[in-house]
């Protein structure tokens, strides 16, 4: 309790003394006059000169890079002039550094043409002189295009007034549009594109691309393998035979020549069908196909010879429309062609190529190519030219019927060999 009383007494005495102490401080304080009103601003230049008549919040502009600055009043007085920039030595930088006479006035070479090459005709073709300019503090030049070697671009590169001279239609680039890895494999070859109309946007001339494999001792599909598939896929062969009496001797030789081939292992994957041309019964057409009859669908070799011998007894009508019959055989007769087999038609007649429907050999050849048929014709030599277009102009697919079986054997064996069998 006594302690509390002492504390309260001390606080009371302090409160009584505070006014007396403050009075003494005011009496002892010395007043110092201010140089300016704090926060006040004045316009100044890089020399520190002050322009009190100028409005400090919007100082006037100076030429070039020169600018006014501002100084500010603080409790300690006026600050340094801030932001003022005066003239300096002119440098080549696209600025008016000396604030006199404009930008880069000390570099009269600026904007002058330069970079001329002796012999070049500037203003012709691509040739253009350069222009001096100030950049990065240095005098440099830009834009010069001189003559160069002529290239295929539709421009006058050498500036002689002519475009692509010496390169058009002679300069070429290698091209190939086949699958990767096939160029220079098998029959595939690269081609070239010649400079045309200032560019190479033209077909690739001379290239050989992968094609369907053919029986020709060549790698047509460019896979590194020759004639693959032809030794195992089989053959569906239709004989189209003129059964007219004028052809009896040749038919007999043909039967005798074919007989040993039917026993040869080479025909193990063959199937044979038969069409008789020039057929009629009692003066009436034997089938809906004029003077032509489908004697047999495909049968194995061991059954075909008997069918061939029996066909000789079919009555003939005296007309042999062989062209029409080849068409019917490919498109209309209901032969059971195998999808994977080679499709072959061998026509034998002693007459010229005949038609009732108005078809021709060019049409027959087009159908054969489209549908994948191989056509061979036995005709008398004077008649070969009438069948040539039927076999795509290939004389090796034309034969002359022989009166002896040995010749027939060799002829047909040659055809079988041409079909890539027994390779």
Q: What is the DSSP string of 393-418?
A: T-GGGEE---SSHHHHHHHHHHHHHH
- Looking at the structure, tell me whether residues 247 and 119 fall in a common domain: no
Q: Is there a single domain that holds both residue 297 and residue 364?
A: yes
Are 295 and 343 in the same domain? yes
Sort residue 406 into left (φ over 0), alpha (ψ -120 to 50) or beta. Answer: alpha
26-40, 233-247, 355-369: least confidently modelled range = 26-40
Whether 218 and 320 map to the same domain: the answer is: no
Average pLDDT over residues 171-186: 92
318 within domain boundaries = yes
- Using DSSP's 3-state secondary structure scheme, residue 133 falls into strand
Query: What average pLDDT does this structure show over 122-143?
Result: 76
Q: How confident is the model at residue 106 (pLDDT cuts 50, 70, 90)?
A: low
Residue 150 has pLDDT above 60, yes or no: yes
Predicted confidence (pLDDT) at residue 285 exceeds the cutoff of 60:
no
CA 317 – CA 78 distance, rounded (Å): 134
| Domain assignment of residue 194, given as a range | 168-228
Regarding whether 276 and 373 lie in a shared domain, the answer is yes
Q: Is residue 122 part of a domain?
A: yes
Least trusted range by pLDDT, from 5-14, 80-89, 247-256: 5-14
pLDDT tens-digit map of 187-210: 999 999 988 877 888 899 999 999
- On whether both 107 and 217 belong to a single domain, the answer is no
Q: What is the pLDDT of residue 104?
A: 65
pLDDT at 21 (0 to 100): 47
The predicted pLDDT at position 377 comes to 95
Predicted pLDDT at 352: 93
User: First-to-last CA distance in the chain?
Assistant: 134
Cα–Cα distance for residue pair 153/163, rounded to 1 Å: 9
Nearest to 150 by CA among 171, 173, 122, 123: 171
Taking the CA atoms of the chain, what radius of gyration do you get in angstroms? 54
Average per-residue pLDDT in the chain?
81
Asked if residue 13 has pLDDT above 90, the reply is no
What band does 55 get if pLDDT is binned at 50, 70 and 90? confident
Which of 16-20, 64-68, 270-274, 288-292 has the least mean pLDDT?
A: 16-20
pLDDT tens, residue by residue, 300-344: 988 888 888 888 777 777 678 999 999 999 999 999 999 878 899
Q: Answer whether residue 84 is part of any domain.
A: no
Beta bridge partners of 196: 199
- Would you say 364 and 375 are in contact if contact means Cβ atoms under 8 Å apart? yes
What is residue 259's predicted lDDT score, i.e. its pLDDT? 80
pLDDT-wise least confident of 128-137, 283-292, 342-351:
283-292
- Asked, for residue 4, whether it belongs to a domain, the answer is no
The domain spanning residue 296 has which CATH number? 3.40.50.410
pLDDT at 33 over 60: yes
CA distance 213 to 230: 9
Token pair 């002892």 is found at 28
Domain-ending residue, one of 16, 50, 78: 78
Asked whether residue 223 falls in the same domain as residue 261, the answer is no
Q: Count structural domains, the chain.
A: 4
Q: Is the pLDDT of residue 417 over 80?
A: no
> Is 1 a member of any domain?
no
Q: Give the domain-ending residue among 166, 183, 212.
A: 166
Q: Which of 51-65, 80-94, 146-160 has the lowest mean pLDDT?
A: 51-65
Are residues 297 and 404 both part of a single domain? Answer: yes
Looking at residues 349-373, what average pLDDT do you find?
A: 92
In a domain, 36, yes or no: no
Query: End of a domain among 125, 150, 166?
Result: 166
* Residue 269 within any structural domain of the chain: yes
* Structural domain includes residue 253: yes
151 shares its domain with 174: no
Query: pLDDT-derived band of residue 11, with 50, 70 and 90 as boundaries?
Result: very low
| pLDDT above 90 as % of the chain | 30
Is a pLDDT exceeding 70 seen at residue 288? no
- Chain position carrying tokens 């919040």: 57
145 and 277 in a single domain? The answer is: no
151-167 average pLDDT score: 83
The verdict on 180 and 280 lying in the same domain is: no
User: How high is the pLDDT of residue 423?
Assistant: 35
Which residue blocks in 311-404 are alpha helix, DSSP H? 322-331, 361-371, 384-387
Using 50, 70 and 90 to split pLDDT, how confident is the model at 378? very high
Predicted confidence at residue 250, as pLDDT, reads 73
* Selected residue with higher pLDDT from 98 and 233: 98
3-state class of 208 per DSSP?
Answer: strand
Q: Are residues 155 and 213 in the same domain?
A: no
């Amino acid at each position: 309790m006594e302690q509390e009383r002492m504390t309260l007494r001390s606080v009371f005495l302090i409160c009584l003394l505070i006014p007396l102490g403050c009075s003494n401080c005011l009496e002892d304080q010395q007043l110092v006059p201010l140089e300016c009103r704090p926060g006040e601003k004045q316009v100044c230049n890089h020399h520190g000169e002050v322009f009190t008549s100028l409005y400090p919040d919007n100082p006037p502009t100076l030429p070039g890079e020169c600018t006014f600055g501002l100084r500010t009043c603080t409790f300690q007085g006026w600050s340094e002039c801030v932001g003022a920039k005066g003239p300096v030595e002119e440098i080549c930088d696209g600025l008016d550094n000396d604030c006199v006479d404009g930008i880069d006035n000390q570099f009269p070479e600026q904007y002058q043409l330069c970079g001329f090459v002796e012999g070049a005709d500037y203003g012709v073709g691509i040739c253009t002189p350069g222009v001096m300019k100030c950049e990065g503090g240095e005098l440099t030049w830009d834009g010069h295009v001189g003559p160069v070697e002529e290239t295929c671009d539709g421009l006058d590169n050498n500036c002689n007034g002519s475009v692509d001279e010496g390169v058009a239609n002679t300069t070429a680039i290698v091209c190939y549009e086949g699958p990767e890895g096939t160029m220079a494999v098998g029959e595939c070859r690269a081609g070239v594109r010649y400079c045309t109309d200032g560019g190479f946007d033209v077909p690739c001339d001379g290239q050989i691309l992968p094609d369907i494999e053919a029986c020709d001792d060549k790698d047509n599909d460019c896979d590194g393998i020759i004639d693959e598939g032809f030794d195992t896929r089989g053959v569906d062969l239709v004989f189209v035979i003129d059964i007219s009496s004028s052809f009896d001797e040749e038919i007999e030789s043909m039967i005798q020549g074919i007989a040993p081939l039917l026993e040869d292992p080479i025909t193990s994957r063959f199937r044979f069908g038969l069409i008789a041309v020039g057929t009629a019964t009692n003066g009436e057409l034997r089938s809906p196909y004029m003077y032509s009859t489908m004697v047999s669908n495909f049968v194995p070799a061991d059954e075909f010879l008997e069918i061939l011998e029996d066909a000789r007894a079919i009555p003939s009508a005296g007309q042999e429309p062989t062209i029409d019959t080849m068409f019917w055989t490919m498109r209309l007769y209901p032969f059971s062609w195998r999808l994977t087999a080679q499709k072959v038609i061998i026509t034998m007649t002693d007459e010229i190529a005949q038609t009732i429907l108005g078809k021709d050999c060019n049409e027959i050849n087009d159908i054969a190519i489209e549908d994948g048929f191989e056509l061979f014709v036995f005709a008398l030599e004077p008649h070969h030219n009438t069948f040539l277009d039927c076999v795509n102009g290939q004389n090796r697919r034309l034969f002359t019927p022989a009166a002896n079986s040995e010749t027939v054997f060799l002829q047909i064996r040659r055809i079988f060999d041409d079909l890539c069998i027994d390779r």
